[in-house]
Amino acid sequence: MDHNSAAHAFATLGHPGRLSVFALLMRFAPRGVRPTEIAQALELKPNTLSHHLSDLTACGLVAVRRDGRSLFYSVDLDITEALLGYLALDLGRARPDLLAPLLSSARTIMPDAGYHVLFICSGNSARSIFAEALLRDLGQGNFIAHSAGTRRGTQLNPFALQVLERNGHEIGELRSKHLSEFQAECAPVMDFVFTVCDTAAAEECPPWPGQPITGHWGLPDPVKAQGTDAEKALVFAQTYGALRRRIEAFVALPVASLDRMSLQIRIDQIDALTKD
């Protein structure tokens, strides 16, 4: 990245509002997000958001695509990589005293007892509980599955428990947990962190210790399904099926033989390749 392009990008990110938009899009990367969803998550007026997105697009950090009548904005990961490279290699002259602390903090994915995986949702009542139970039972002992919600005081959804029981999962030890349980000092260090709903992905949280591989597998909330009990149960079953396809693809990855970059690419591909 040349000096002028880097200066333009840094100046664009220098505004708190634009930086917040960029940070949100990074949490969804590589997925695109509709402007209405960005505005709602960040509580921005549409015209203000429009200016921010225009500036981010103009400097190349964000790309936009049209799908039917909807626009989707996403981070341009190549340009972002070039900007980080400019900061670290050109400006920082690749000094080891600058780079070594960052590189050494990246935990090597070689756990003794299995990879710790956390699934995050807003309520921890259905989607993240599905993912926890699926990974626990399909992971063949290679993964230690956890789930949590960003909202306090939630309970396991009875329709979700029925789906799990019907598919042969033991539900006796499942419980609804708040995210703070996994942010305590005594919590296990995660190797993977997945958000399975857009609400959770849109919320800002501190960086996870150990720099885990992250992914976003957002699915509609089955708890919001309308209709008869049979119609609601069908929506829960469909959500379970969508997560099962993702978990099956995840446990099939040769995790131990992939470097972090390859692993992140494969994780991102799972979401795209397992959609209905």
Check whether residue 201 and residue 257 sit in a common domain.
Answer: yes
- Which of the listed ranges 130-134, 153-157, 212-216, 272-276 does the model predict with the highest average pLDDT? 130-134
Quote the number of domains for the chain: 2
Predicted confidence at residue 276, as pLDDT, reads 58
pLDDT of residue 102: 63
Which CATH number do you get for residue 196?
A: 3.40.50.2300
Between CA 200 and CA 124 the distance in angstroms is 10
| pLDDT tens track for 91-113 | 888 787 777 666 654 544 555 67
Please provide the average confidence, as pLDDT, over all residues in the chain. Answer: 90
**Of the candidates 103, 124, 141, which is a domain's last residue?**
103
Q: Are strands 70-75 and 62-67 parallel, antiparallel or unpaired?
A: antiparallel
Range of the domain at 73: 3-103
Q: Does residue 97 sit in the same domain as residue 135?
A: no
Q: What is the tens place of the pLDDT at every residue in 188-213?
A: 999 999 999 888 777 777 778 878 89
Is residue 110 included in any domain, yes or no? no
User: What does pTM read for this prediction?
Assistant: 0.80
- Low-confidence winner among 59-68, 151-160, 242-251, 264-273 (lowest mean pLDDT): 264-273
Would you say 160 and 130 are in contact if contact means Cβ atoms under 8 Å apart?
Answer: yes
- Does one domain contain both 183 and 236? yes
Distance CA 75, CA 18 (A): 12
